[in-house]
Homo-oligomer: A and B are copies of this chain.
Amino acid sequence: MSDLKIWLKNQQEVVDTKLDQLLPSSETAPATIHQAMRYSMFAGGKRLRPILCLAAAEACGGAQEAALYPACAVEVMHTYSLVHDDLPCMDDDDLRRGRPTSHVVYGEGVAVLTGDALLTEAFTIVAQTPQTPLYNASHFVSELSETGGSKKLIGGQVLDLEGEGQKLNLQQLIQIHEAKTAALLCSSLRLGGMSANCSPEQLQALTDFGYNLGLAFQVIDDILDVTQTTEQLGKTAGKDEAVDKSTYPAILGLEESKKEAARLTKLALDAIKPFGEKGRRLDEIARYMLEREF
């Protein structure tokens, strides 16, 4: 296993251990909701967002212990959005990470409440991030709530729902991906930096890195939906084309989409050059995401 892979696996374990500590146990009453929360939280997620958060803190010279709170908070928020996106009244997905989705296992009512509970928990967790000279709980919470809110994460899902069955142009597609994917990746990095008391310049560099990486990530996601099998993806493959969804490959073609992913990744890599050796992990993660599935 490469050095990066070992490091990634180690970071995943650190995040999983902290998540396990922070989330109510399965026995906590009412048990149904806590079991359902854990079912979706511990479903083999790769913990990309928390790992970016930890790597951003490292790039700014911060302690991992402090960064683990926002790292877990962004993963909990990401998971809530998956649980709700999978609902029959939304994307109607029965399979996620190779397992039946929350509403298939627990029913729609409990799945809605599970998403609600995870969203609420994300704020319980992020509010515990230790204060730094430049940033306090008010900053950490606002960063997460604005990214999760009606203008970004949720707004993107609304645009996605409204765009169903319509041919979107590239600009509209980018707008959705900025809101649905790039915003939370950006915030993962920003929160990691903030927990390490980053300078305004460092925060801007992390923002630029996250924005371009987020868009690159989505282009790659669209490409993999075309080129991989359901087994490889752990979710239904070819679904975008089946429902005539607007994607990068559909608009630009497969080859141009690959070039676009590479272009965005380069922009991301350029943004973090000022971190030098401390930004090595961020650099490696970005390259790794481009080269293969993450």
- Complex CA–CA separation, A162 to B113 (angstroms): 13
Q: Are B123 and A141 in contact (CB under 8 A)?
A: yes
Q: Which residues of B contact A127 (CB under 8 A)?
A: 137-138, 141-142, 145
Residue pair A154, B33 in contact (C-beta under 8 Å): yes
Give CA–CA (A148, B157) in the complex, Å. Answer: 23
Q: Are B33 and A113 in contact (CB-based, < 8 A)?
A: no
Whether the Cβ atoms of B121 and A149 lie closer than 8 Å is yes
A124 interface residue (CB < 8 Å to B):
yes
Partner pick for A162 among B30, B138, B141, B158, CB 8 A cutoff: B30
Contact B113–A154 (Cβ < 8 Å) = yes
A159→B124 contact, CB < 8 A: no
A24 — which chain B residues lie within 8 A by C-beta?
A: 150-151
Is A290 interfacial (CB-CB < 8 Å)? no
Judging by beta carbons under 8 Å apart, are A120 and B150 in contact?
yes
Whether B112 contacts A150 by the Cβ 8 Å rule is no
Which segment, of A103-111, A221-229, A268-276, faces chain B? Answer: A103-111
| Bound Cα distance from A107 to B33, whole angstroms | 25
Chain A 108-149 interface mask (CB, 8 Å, partner B; 1/0): 111011011101110110011001000011100110111011
Could you say which of A13-21, A84-92, A186-194, A235-243 contacts chain B? A84-92
Other-chain contact of A123, B84, B145, B157 (Cβ < 8 Å): B145
Separation in Å of the A194 CB from the closest CB of chain B?
14
Q: How far is the CB of A116 from chain B (nearest CB, A)?
A: 5
> Restricting to A14-67, which residues have a CB under 8 Å from any CB of B?
24, 28-30, 32-34, 37
Interface positions of A from 211 to 251, Cβ below 8 Å from B: none
- In the bound complex, residues from chain B placing their C-beta under 8 Å from that of A145 are 120-121, 123-124, 127
- Check if B124 sits within 8 Å of A142, measured CB to CB: yes
Which of B107, B115, B117, B131 is close to A149, meaning CB atoms less than 8 Å apart?
B117
Interface assignment of A170: CB less than 8 Å from any CB of chain B: no
A24-B150, A37-B150, A89-B112 as given contacts; A32 in contact with B158, CB under 8 Å: yes
A98 at the interface (CB under 8 A from B): no
Q: Is A161 an interface residue (CB 8 A)?
A: yes
Report the minimal beta-carbon distance from A191 to chain B, rounded to whole angstroms.
14
Chain B residues with Cβ below 8 Å from A150 are 24, 28, 30, 33-34, 37, 117, 120-121
Contact B115–A116 (Cβ < 8 Å): yes
- Whether the Cβ atoms of A30 and B158 lie closer than 8 Å is yes
Instruction: Determine the distance from Cα of A155 to Cα of B32 in the docked complex, in whole angstroms.
Output: 9
> How many whole Å from A145's CB to the nearest CB in chain B?
4
Contacts of A33 in B (CB 8 A): 150, 154-155, 158
14 contacts between A and B (CB under 8 A): A29-B155, A30-B158, A80-B116, A87-B112, A89-B107, A89-B109, A113-B158, A119-B120, A120-B148, A123-B145, A127-B141, A127-B142, A128-B142, A137-B137
